[in-house]
Amino acid sequence: MSSGVLARSVLPALASVTGLVFYSWMRFLWPNRKQSIGAWQRLSHRSDLPADSVDGRWVTSHGVWIVRRTDQGRDRLFVLRAACTHLGCTTQWDPSLRQFICPCHGSAFSLDGERLRGPATRAMDRYAVRLTSDGFIEVRLESTVRRPQSEIEYS
């Protein structure tokens, strides 16, 4: 094989592989962020949530359930992480049982996200949530929080 043939056939392939490896490393070191860390994300308006309801419109895009609980004229709003706390499968809302059920291994959680049945060993995670002055529900997905930061009351 002459050096001219080598230069035309092997070197471009080698450059491509090297470029691909370099690109992969750069993506590894600086991955894209799906959403900016720490940002409040506007999901819905409170008027979109009927009393005592579970909103599943954000499960696919944001991995969350929005829950509005209405007890004795008092409304509580919170956002549950849809991932099961066992191994992370996406929970499903069963309206007849009023429970979140995990299809993978059968864990069950109450409407408040409390653990009812394993193998999950703890409650569903919650995210910080707030209500804007014009009634929009915003959630911060950077980390999970505990009550009371995870819940808003309003009337």
**Could you tell me how many residues of this chain bind ligand FES (CB under 6 A)?**
12
- Under the binding rule (CB under 6 A), the answer on residue 87 touching ligand FES is yes
Report d(CA 138, CA 63) in Å as an integer.
Answer: 14
If the CB atoms of residues 116 and 131 are measured against ligand FES, the closer one turns out to be 116
If the CB atoms of residues 88 and 135 are measured against ligand FES, the closer one turns out to be 88
Q: Report the residue from 66, 84, 141, 152 that binds ligand FES according to the rule CB under 6 A.
A: 84
Q: Report the residue from 119, 122, 135, 154 that binds ligand FES according to the rule CB under 6 A.
A: 119
> Minimal distance in Å, beta carbon 118 to ligand FES?
7
Query: Phi-psi bin for 88: left (phi > 0), alpha (psi -120 to 50), beta?
Result: left
- Under the binding rule (CB under 6 A), the answer on residue 120 touching ligand FES is yes
If the CB atoms of residues 41 and 144 are measured against ligand FES, the closer one turns out to be 144
- Mapped onto helix, strand or coil, the DSSP state of residue 150 is coil
- Under the binding rule (CB under 6 A), the answer on residue 89 touching ligand FES is yes
DSSP states along 94-139: ETTTTEEE-TTT--EE-TT--EEESS--SPPPEEEEEE-TTSEEEE
Query: Which residues, 6+ apart, have CB-to-CB distance to 50 below 8 Å?
Result: 68
CA distances from 67 to 20, 82, 130 (A): 45, 11, 13
Half-sphere exposure of 113 (CA within 13 A, CB side): 27
- Under the binding rule (CB under 6 A), the answer on residue 17 touching ligand FES is no
Window 98-117: residues binding ligand FES (CB under 6 A) = 102, 104-107
Residues within the interface to ligand FES (CB under 6 A): 84, 86-89, 102, 104-107, 119-120
